[in-house]
Structure 1
Amino acid sequence: MKKEDFKFKYFDTTADIGIEVNTDNLNDAYIQSSLATLNLITDIEKIKPKIIKDILIESEDEYGLLYDWITEILILLNSEDFMASEYDINIKRENNSYIISGTVSGDIYNTNIYNYKTEVKAITYHKMEIEKEDNNYKIRFIVDI
């Protein structure tokens, strides 16, 4: 993935960092949310897609799914040193749940190879927004650093 493909930007909050994503579909909105989060930690475009991991996350609504999605990406980093850089995911609504399934590709995060910017501890529900207007999805959330 190249920097020019990124569809996210950052906004200021007190002691945390806000992320805003604007794109034309929900799958890409969640992918961009993950890229934006991990790009706070390192230059995500430098991560090579050497390892593939399966993903399956189910949640009660789009907000819970976003929270669980970013949490899962951070858990992979913190427990397996895995940094995802490419995504092949599908989000669907099934019964009363939202489900993300697919794969993420990336590499073992090694600060000797990939630079280190800052630590992202967690996503928060504080000021989280997910809006769809016409053919545009807008997601805003805050991560604790």
Structure 2
Amino acid sequence: MTNSPFIYLDHIADTRFIAYGDSLEHVFENSALAMFNVIADVSNISPEVEFDVEVYASELEDLLVHFLSELLFLFDAEETLFGNITVHEIQQTNGIYSVTATISGEPIDSSKQNFRTEVKAVTYNHIRVEKTDSGFETEVVLDL
């Protein structure tokens, strides 16, 4: 594991990253931060606007894709750049996984925020959620 909570990998026409965390909750948080950091520099985003998110899926990999896709939808629909992600809980009940989170950020303002590129979608290409010796690791490919 590196000192960074995520790293970027080379991928043709898309962006691919690996995120790290000491728990499932933290690796989902770091995956979301990695995704938003592709869009813009999120290191100084203020928590002006807040949303609660709850997503369900039958597999952890599906849960990650649905979670990141929901955040990307909120970015577009609410015109808000998110830089603060708190995953409260990931659990499995009766074979269904769920994630509950609170995300916050500030309204999009290109004069204030350093935008990099547009993310069109979260893909299933190379998607993985794995338990490691030091916690958890995800791998995600974003369609640009």
Length-normalised TM-score, structure 1: 0.91
The correspondence of residues 1-145 of structure 1 with structure 2, limited to 5 A, is: 6-89=4-87, 90-145=89-144
- Please tell me whether the aligned partners of residues 76 and 83 of structure 1 are also in contact (alpha carbons under 8 angstroms): no
Aligned partner letter, 1:126: N
1:81 offset after TM fit, Å?
0.7
- Please tell me whether the aligned partners of residues 25 and 135 of structure 1 are also in contact (alpha carbons under 8 angstroms): no
Label 1:6 to 1:51 Cα distance change in 2 as closer, same or farther (>3 A). farther
Give 5+ residue unaligned stretches, structure 1: none
Provide, for residues 10-68 of structure 1, a one-character-per-residue CA deviation record: whole Å limited to 9, x for no partner: 00011111010122111010010010000011111121111111111111110111000
Aligned partner letter, 1:75: F
1:95 offset after TM fit, Å?
1.3
Distance 2:127 2:136 in 1: 13
What is the RMSD of the two structures over their aligned residues, measured on CA atoms? 1.3
Provide, for residues 62-115 of structure 1, a one-character-per-residue CA deviation record: whole Å limited to 9, x for no partner: 011100011011101111112221122211111111111131111112212212
Distance 1:72 1:114 in 2: 22
Give 5+ residue unaligned stretches, structure 2: none
Q: Which runs of 4+ in 1 moved over 3 A?
A: none
Identity level (%): 28
Distance 1:88 1:38 in 2: 14
Distance 1:105 1:49 in 2: 5
Aligned partner letter, 2:131: K
Length-normalised TM-score, structure 2: 0.92
Distance 1:6 1:105 in 2: 22
- Please tell me whether the aligned partners of residues 6 and 32 of structure 1 are also in contact (alpha carbons under 8 angstroms): no
Distance 1:21 1:45 in 2: 16
